[in-house]
A and B are shown apart, each in its own frame.
Chain A
């Protein structure tokens, strides 16, 4: 689980980039800003991941899967 809440871009994407370094099959990411959701989605897509998004209280939970 990568908790990006409270960070301004690009930090959330960089946190995800670091977590995807070894190519895990899946990764859960928590975000509190739409800009972070959009940026992470675009980055993960470029790395060959599929993304599903679900609300988590006022935040967003992204599931990245290969």
Chain B
């Protein structure tokens, strides 16, 4: 009986974590950047670039993984009769938080999912991101304990719930039928890509499983601390373990803090960037991956959050806020990358914005 209950609670989430890890490994082997088989922040940033919203030539491509995740989640939600169009829970605040979550993620160079994938590749610079991410989640937990809420969403017409899936279908059509209208990187991470069918299939699998299992990279730590519920955290750990094992088998595990793929060793700002992501994700009710899934389920607020993330990515590259990877100069000198003064200012501004949003969405005294 106890075994059956354990399987019911943990079976699907562990399977999802393993599937996400395998998808990341397969996509990397098929051409995606190393330690970046799947990165929601990086791939939304690439989509922003492909649409001409920023002009960073190295990071422009319509990533079919994102399309697959949203459409996979929508298909799973429709099949399970869980597709519900709703909206109205502080949409403008969610847009803003989404934008700063993206700015934090691009300061670190990855969303929480890529952070785990980097850790699974032996990238020790990602440990700083993990520390910051946990700290940010704990700040968010304090906010929730004090009653923070962005408010209730309400049922809306079905069309509202299909906005982001519709945009994804449009992007897929453009990618396949009119790629000339889009900008695609010829060098750099944006040029490293698996064949679109493989990417789309990987996204669909992850979208379906993440919708069914409710996988969330921020929710795991939150639920463990607040509710002693370790289900989501087990999915987070399953991705880490799967990617680690996969890299060890392939001989691509490199336990080091130097010259890691698309990563920098500016530890303080990696930690602060991911703290912004962790706090923002808790305020939003889920990490960037979870926002895609919720948008696929018909949540218009999450759709707006995703659009906020895309705009945040455009700002990050138009105003030089995003991190640069460590590199080796021609004379062999190791050059530490990271963010500059503008990026640091944006991350600090992000904390200020989250603080204001938190303070203005706490219950009034008589509501306690």
Chain A residues with CB below 8 A from B84, complex form = 32-33, 58
Could you count the A-B residue pairs with CB atoms below 8 Å apart for me: how many are there? Answer: 56
Stretch at the interface among B47-55, B172-180, B223-231, B270-278: B223-231
For A38, give the chain B residue with the smallest CB separation. B214
Interface of chain A: mostly helix, strand, loop or mixed: helix
Q: Residue B45 at the A interface, CB < 8 A? A: no
Interface size class, chain A: 20 to 34
Q: Residue B79 at the A interface, CB < 8 A? A: no
Chain A residues with CB below 8 A from B226, complex form = 10, 14
Within 8 A of A (CB), among B273-329: 284-286, 294, 299
Question: Judging by beta carbons under 8 Å apart, are A8 and B89 in contact?
Answer: yes
Chain A 1-44 interface mask (CB, 8 Å, partner B; 1/0): 00001111111011001000000000000001111001100110
Docked pose: A10 CA to B228 CA in angstroms: 13
For A4, give the chain B residue with the smallest CB separation. B152
Question: Judging by beta carbons under 8 Å apart, are A34 and B82 in contact?
Answer: yes
Docked pose: A21 CA to B359 CA in angstroms: 25
Question: Judging by beta carbons under 8 Å apart, are A10 and B223 in contact?
Answer: yes
Question: Judging by beta carbons under 8 Å apart, are B144 and A8 in contact?
Answer: no
Q: Contact check: which of B153, B155, B219, B294 meets A10 at CB < 8 Å?
A: B219
Docked pose: A39 CA to B89 CA in angstroms: 20
Taking the closest CB of chain B, its distance from the CB of A47, in whole angstroms, is 10
Question: Judging by beta carbons under 8 Å apart, are A11 and B285 in contact?
Answer: yes
In the complex with contacts A6-B86, A6-B153, A9-B219, A39-B229 CB distance below 8 A: yes
Question: Judging by beta carbons under 8 Å apart, are B222 and A10 in contact?
Answer: yes
In the complex with contacts A8-B286, A17-B227, A42-B9 CB distance below 8 A: yes
Docked pose: A5 CA to B299 CA in angstroms: 13
Question: Judging by beta carbons under 8 Å apart, are B229 and A43 in contact?
Answer: yes
Chain A residues with CB below 8 A from B299, complex form = 8
Q: Contact check: which of A6, A8, A13, A58 meets B294 at CB < 8 Å?
A: A8
In the complex with contacts A14-B226, A38-B214, A39-B229, A5-B152 CB distance below 8 A: yes
Q: Residue B195 at the A interface, CB < 8 A? A: no
Q: Residue B149 at the A interface, CB < 8 A? A: yes
Docked pose: A10 CA to B147 CA in angstroms: 11
Taking the closest CB of chain A, its distance from the CB of B308, in whole angstroms, is 16
Chain B residues with CB below 8 A from A39, complex form = 223, 229
Docked pose: A35 CA to B84 CA in angstroms: 12
Chain A residues with CB below 8 A from B155, complex form = 32, 58
Within 8 A of A (CB), among B139-180: 144, 149, 152-155
Within 8 A of A (CB), among B173-189: none
Q: Which residue, of A10, A46, A58, has the highest number of chain B Cβ atoms within 10 A? A: A10
Taking the closest CB of chain A, its distance from the CB of B364, in whole angstroms, is 16
Question: Judging by beta carbons under 8 Å apart, are A11 and B149 in contact?
Answer: yes
Chain A residues with CB below 8 A from B229, complex form = 39, 42-43, 46
Question: Judging by beta carbons under 8 Å apart, are A43 and B294 in contact?
Answer: no
Question: Judging by beta carbons under 8 Å apart, are B149 and A33 in contact?
Answer: no
For B293, give the chain A residue with the smallest CB separation. A35
Docked pose: A7 CA to B299 CA in angstroms: 11
**22 pairs, CB–CB < 8 Å, chain A vs chain B:** A6-B88, A6-B89, A6-B153, A6-B154, A7-B149, A8-B89, A8-B285, A8-B286, A8-B294, A8-B299, A9-B219, A10-B144, A10-B285, A11-B144, A14-B144, A32-B84, A32-B86, A34-B80, A39-B223, A39-B229, A46-B229, A58-B84
Could you tell me which A residues sit within 8 Å of B by CB distance? 5-11, 13-14, 17, 32-35, 38-39, 42-43, 46, 58
